[in-house]
Structure 1
């Protein structure tokens, strides 16, 4: 019977995310998670029925790790819905991902693993689809410039930019990522004053 110690479960999931980022999906074993979490051997297998359950729950956990806190969302949504507010939010997103590099790399690994594992794919599809829907609704309902079209373009552009940053940053020397984010916002979000 699985244990219900939630702090330990979260620590094991965070360790699984770190293992995914460092070793890929093939390196994700209960033993590797136990080692990364610095817990006795066999601990992870007491919390997760099998590797698929571990992968699926790590997918849910990584979204929580990468999301802004409710307080930060309040700060980001406080200013008027302008292009500048969108620019600030995109830089914030990039900063969060840069600070939790392992989290986003693990998410990429989970996406690849989802190609081969239907349960992982189903869980990721639900979480990512929900995130996309919320992001677009926030932009549209918040009255940010460009409506749905800009929200979709921003999502796709920032997703690609983040993958480039985490996988081959050396390929993007000039301009730097901060400048690229500014350009993405400039191109995708209209300036209502013009």
Structure 2
């Protein structure tokens, strides 16, 4: 990704994460990026193209975050370690990266009404599933893909609630740990 294109997309993420989708215009992105008028539209001719570009940029940023998680989860995966590592990610995504999280949620809501964005989200979800389900296999899940999405759904809910109503005592690791322990208990009760 070129420097100027990345600059425009990062500005679009800030617009989405601070002002919402209704305020996402080429002009607003140019102003946020501090670039000459028309720069955003030179890179992204339509609003849909801009949204698709933002979704791709968010995928890049999220991939970096999840790669850090993966680096911390090398070797044997244990429930408490997994919960702590993903909990730390949640604290980052609701603290220093809060604007990125809000932009992601705004864009996902927008994707519900745009087939092209929906397809792009589905491809990204498939990528996540292809490598993250291994953590759940390592934890002993007989249904790693399903359990991965159960935990990711909890994580998305935790992020949304914390971004909407910040709680200074926010402890995402506890909620993730409780869910994983409940899932683990159901795995061990399954007939062999």
TM-score normalized by the length of structure 1:
0.80
The answer to whether the Cα contact below 8 Å between 1:101 and 1:166 also exists between their aligned partners in 2 is yes
Q: What is the distance in 2 between the residues matched to 1:152 and 1:118?
A: 21
Identify the residue that residue 89 of structure 1 maps to in structure 2: 85
Residue of structure 1 aligned with 2:41, choices 45, 50, 53:
45
Structure 1 residues 178 and 132, CA, compared in 2 at 3 Å: closer, same or farther? same
Q: For residues 43 and 101 of structure 2, what CA distance do their matches in structure 1 show?
A: 23
Q: What corresponds to 2:100 in structure 1?
A: 103
Moved over 6 A (4+): none
Residue 160 of structure 1 pairs with residue 153 of structure 2: no
TM-score, normalization by structure 2: 0.81
1:7 corresponds to which residue?
3
The residue number in structure 2 matching 1:54 is 50
* 8 Å CA contact retained: 2:27, 2:37: yes
Distance 2:122 2:70 in 1: 27
CA RMSD of aligned residues (A): 2.8
Alpha-carbon distance change, 188 to 77 in structure 1, aligned in 2, over 3 angstroms: same
Assess if the C-alpha contact under 8 Å between 1:97 and 1:104 holds in 2.
yes
In 2: Cα distance, 1:74 partner to 1:130 partner: 14
Task: Measure, in 2, the Cα distance between the counterparts of 1:88 and 1:127.
Answer: 24
Q: 3-state SS of the aligned residue for 1:49?
A: coil
Gaps of 5+ in 2: none
Is the counterpart of residue 180 in structure 1 residue 179 in structure 2? no
Mark the CA change 1:178 to 1:86 in structure 2 (over 3 Å): closer, same or farther.
closer
2:139 match: secondary structure: coil
**Distance (Å, rounded) in 2 between the aligned partners of 1:169 and 1:14:** 24
Name the residue aligned to 1:113: 110
CA distance in 2, matches of 1:136, 1:71: 14
The CA deviation at 1:176 is: 4.1
Identify unmatched segments of 5+ residues in structure 1.
none
Corresponding pairs, count: 185
